[in-house]
A = this chain, B = another copy of it.
Amino acid sequence: MHNVDWQLDEIVTQLRATRETWRERHGRSRERGCRELPSRSAIRAITDDLIGALFPMRLGPSDLRRESEDFYVGHTLDATLNALCHEVCLELKYIARQLGRDAGDTQARAVEVVQGFAAGLPELRRQLDADVMAAYHGDPAARSVDEVLLCYPGVHAVIHHRIANYFYQADLSLLARMIAEIAHSDTGIDIHPGATIGEGFFIDHGTGVVIGETAIIGNNVRLYQAVTLGAKRFPADERGHLEKGLPRHPVVEDDVVIYAGATILGRITIGKGSIIGGNVWLTRDVEPGSNVTQANLQSGPCP
């Protein structure tokens, strides 16, 4: 590359001009210093470590011995909660900057958020155990709970969701979204961190599943690949602005099974114990105990 001239000075100058145009449009021209935003790679590392601490003998280090589980869990949690606290601080400061507000004592608020998360870890583990059992019982091909925990993408996605949801509820939407997108990239399962999901939840195969922000899912629900729980329309206020946070995704009651490719849209309710057939397109309420199939198709399980 001896005689190559990439005209770098020119390109660098033009790229800066392009960035400045963007920043002016977004009112950021005078910001200085570092990016203060949560980092996706940091969050992946934190999430992996949390999962290791939750399931030390299955998803922790392969040379861990049961005799020293507690040492591993304690040491890992200390390092990870500190790292998490740092990311929370970054997002709190970011939110304050976005809102043009003083950030206040972000450190204290971050500690509070992370303490709440930490205190909930035992309950989180209990919930995840129930999800693993649901997967084990829901798939005839599952040979052991270990296979489920080690191999099932649906379980991987649900673990991430239950972590992400905590931070969504704490109004840390970037952090929550990053955790959700890590699972989305790994599994093809796209669960918005705002979705409310009950106990014993299982997604089989999973690729293409989309679950929206205001969806509510009861206990013991089972989904297959490519199921959408989406919005039917986006309500706008009188000025034509999309209204945020309005309930717009389905409510799925306890013990419902939804087969592959079903598309369920809008703030409708799928009653307790219903079975929704594969590829069904559904935009109205369904009575408890229904068995909905595509009009011109045979009903039945599809995986």
A binding-site residues for B, Cβ under 8 Å:
1-9, 11-12, 14-19, 21-22, 26, 31-35, 37, 39-40, 42, 53-54, 56-58, 60-79, 81-83, 85, 94, 98, 111, 114-115, 118-119, 121-122, 125-126, 129, 140-141, 143-147, 150-153, 173-174, 177-178, 181, 184-188, 190, 192, 194, 205, 207-208, 210, 212-213, 225-226, 228, 230-234, 242-244, 260-261, 263, 265-266, 278-279, 281, 283, 294-298, 300-303
| A115-B6, A174-B151 given; A300·B278 CB < 8 A | no
Contacts of A76 in B (CB 8 A): 75
Are the C-beta atoms of B184 and A71 separated by less than 8 Å?
no
| A11-B122, A62-B39, A65-B33 given; A181·B210 CB < 8 A | no
Q: Which 9 A-B pairs have the closest CB atoms?
A: A71-B74, A2-B33, A68-B78, A14-B122, A71-B75, A140-B242, A230-B303, A75-B75, A151-B177
Rounded to whole Å, the gap between the CB of A227 and the closest CB of chain B is 11
**Bound CA span A3–B79, Å:** 15
**Bound CA span A140–B212, Å:** 11
Among B67, B207, B297, B301, point to the contact of A208 (Cβ < 8 A). Answer: B207
**Bound CA span A2–B283, Å:** 52
Are the C-beta atoms of B213 and A205 separated by less than 8 Å?
no
Are the C-beta atoms of A77 and B281 separated by less than 8 Å?
no
Among B58, B75, B226, point to the contact of A37 (Cβ < 8 A). Answer: B58
Contacts of A114 in B (CB 8 A): 6
Are the C-beta atoms of B300 and A283 separated by less than 8 Å?
yes
| A79-B63, A98-B144 given; A278·B263 CB < 8 A | yes
Contacts of A11 in B (CB 8 A): 77, 118-119, 121-122
Known: A33-B65, A68-B78, A263-B278. 18 other contacts (CB 8 A): A2-B32, A4-B33, A12-B71, A15-B54, A18-B126, A19-B57, A34-B64, A35-B60, A63-B79, A64-B79, A71-B78, A75-B76, A141-B192, A151-B181, A188-B207, A207-B210, A208-B208, A228-B261
Among B31, B122, B143, B228, point to the contact of A225 (Cβ < 8 A). Answer: B228
From A68, A69, A294, residue with most partner B Cβ within 10 Å? A68
Are the C-beta atoms of B174 and A190 separated by less than 8 Å?
no
Rounded to whole Å, the gap between the CB of A44 and the closest CB of chain B is 13
